[in-house]
């Protein structure tokens, strides 16, 4: 009985380690436009509280940012600024929820929101969660999401978001 209890505690600790993600680190972003083949590289800093506060500030290009403060989403990308309410703009709400759920380790909710199924693999010290749409992707949703974590500490190392439009953003977290 003690052996089973220890296994359950170990599994719960493992799940908690993956679900309690916070970040205060550097990242790189690679954006690929499928139709044109154009690739854009960016560098920045990510600060995430594990819940609903996210700041991605870019040093390359300087001045760009993507900020989530509760239900508010603030964007300054490539000279285009916007401040949106995720409760009022459904597409933004889905993207906000997916991003926050992926960063916090709640990939089951991200999959459900995007009408997707989840596959989990482990190899070479990494846990990879692949979320792939089962059919029609909800407006503003993602065709696929791939999340990679270090098994030893649960830290996210990579997040790949593929939009239904064919745009793919890859974030490498330091």
What domains appear along the chain, each with residue ranges and CATH number? 21-173 (2.50.20.10)
Q: Enumerate residue ranges in the chain where pLDDT < 50.
A: 1-20
Quick one: pLDDT at residue 21? 72
CA-based radius of gyration for the chain: 17
**pLDDT at residue number 105:** 86
The model's pTM: 0.84
pLDDT at 13: 39
> In the prediction, which pLDDT does 64 show?
96
Instruction: Give Cβ neighbours of residue 120 (< 8 Å, ≥ 6 apart).
Output: 127, 128, 129, 130
pLDDT digits (tens, 9 = 90+) for 112-153: 998 899 999 999 999 999 999 998 888 888 999 999 999 988
């Amino acid at each position: 009985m003690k052996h089973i209890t220890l296994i359950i505690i170990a599994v719960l600790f493992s799940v908690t380690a993956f679900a309690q993600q916070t970040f205060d680190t550097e990242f790189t972003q690679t954006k690929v436009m499928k139709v044109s083949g154009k690739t854009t590289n960016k560098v920045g800093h990510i600060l995430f509280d594990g819940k609903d506060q996210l700041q991605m500030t870019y040093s390359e290009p300087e001045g760009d940012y993507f900020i989530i403060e509760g239900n508010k989403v603030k964007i300054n990308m490539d000279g285009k600024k916007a401040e949106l309410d995720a409760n009022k703009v459904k597409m933004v709400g889905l993207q906000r929820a997916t991003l926050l759920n992926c960063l916090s380790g709640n990939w089951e909710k991200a999959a459900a929101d995007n009408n997707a199924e989840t596959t989990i693999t482990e190899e070479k010290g990494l846990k990879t969660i692949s979320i792939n749409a089962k059919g029609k992707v909800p407006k503003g949703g993602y065709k696929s999401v791939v999340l990679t974590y270090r098994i030893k500490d649960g830290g996210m190392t990579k997040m790949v978001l593929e939009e239904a439009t064919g745009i793919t953003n890859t974030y490498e977290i330091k």
